């Protein structure tokens, strides 16, 4: 079989397209540090600190093209198993397989965590430990979520969230939000401001933490926005 070789520049594009861009690696940290199913602002800030440190490759306090290039080269070096400065077809295949394995591991872990959270959530709602939920318990649950009390604020928050980005847009999307002056570089001050704004947008009931439901709603809004933009591009 003919050996297919990619140049460094072409391989960098392939690495990004394969989902192994520097800001979206499979080992990215989880903002829910204690695994309780909600993300507090403190957890989000700690998550942001870790992300910024990873993306700021040269540690100069700004994320720019130099950092992106450094991370692309790092990813290329990892994929170039025989260190010949080129990626063969086999190396590209191995890279895709590794990405697939990481994705499956994350899905399995997410499914397990979801079941555990559901059990814990049910136990909290079942206040009399009867093994079932009464109408009063269901009503209390809805009120706690803000679906009855403060419902207008909840709906207003959801409308506001239909803007640019929701939770889970990924580090690259966060960088795009943070680059307020459009200079293709993100300072730490810009990053922190964007992080706080991002958290406030997803925290629709303003309780200072992001629940699973709020994260899911943000993901749904984000996917809907991507679909709209894609359809608009196709229509041009």
pLDDT at position 206: 93
Which pLDDT score is estimated for 208? 93
What is the pTM assigned to this prediction? 0.54
Which residues in the chain show pLDDT less than 70?
1-29, 145-174
Q: What is the pLDDT of residue 103?
A: 86
| pLDDT score, position 136 | 82
Which element (helix H / strand E) includes 40? Answer: strand 39-40
Q: How far is 223 from 142, CA to CA, in rounded Å?
A: 26
Mean pLDDT, rounded, of the chain: 76
Q: How far apart are CA 157 and CA 200, in angstroms?
A: 9
Tell me if 86 sits within 8 A of 97, measured CB to CB.
no
Q: What is the pLDDT of residue 146?
A: 61
Rounded CA-CA distance 186/189 in Å is 8
pLDDT at 89: 87
CA atoms lying within 13 Å on the CB side of residue 112: 7
Give pLDDT, residue 29.
61
DSSP β-ladder status, 39-40 and 209-210: antiparallel
């Amino acid at each position: 079989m003919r050996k297919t070789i990619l140049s460094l520049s072409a391989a960098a594009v392939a690495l990004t397209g394969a989902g192994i861009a520097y800001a979206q690696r499979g080992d990215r940290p989880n903002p829910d540090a204690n695994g309780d199913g909600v993300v507090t602002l403190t957890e989000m800030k700690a998550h942001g600190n870790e992300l910024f440190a990873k993306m700021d490759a040269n540690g100069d306090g700004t994320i720019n093209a130099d950092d992106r290039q450094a991370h692309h080269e790092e990813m290329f070096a990892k994929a170039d198993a025989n260190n010949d400065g080129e990626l063969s077809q086999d190396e590209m295949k191995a890279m895709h397989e590794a990405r697939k394995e990481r994705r499956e591991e994350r899905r399995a872990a997410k499914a397990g965590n979801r079941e555990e959270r559901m059990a814990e959530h049910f136990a909290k709602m079942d206040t009399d430990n009867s093994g079932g939920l009464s109408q009063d318990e269901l009503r209390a649950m809805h009120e706690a979520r803000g679906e009855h009390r403060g419902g207008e604020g909840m709906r207003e928050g959801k409308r506001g969230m239909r803007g640019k980005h929701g939770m889970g847009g990924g580090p690259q999307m966060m960088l795009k939000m943070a680059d307020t002056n459009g200079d293709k570089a993100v300072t730490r001050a810009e990053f922190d401001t964007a992080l706080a704004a991002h958290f406030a947008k997803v925290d629709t009931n303003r309780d200072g933490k992001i629940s699973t439901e709020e994260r899911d709603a943000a993901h749904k809004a984000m996917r809907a926005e991507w679909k709209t933009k894609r359809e608009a591009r196709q229509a041009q």
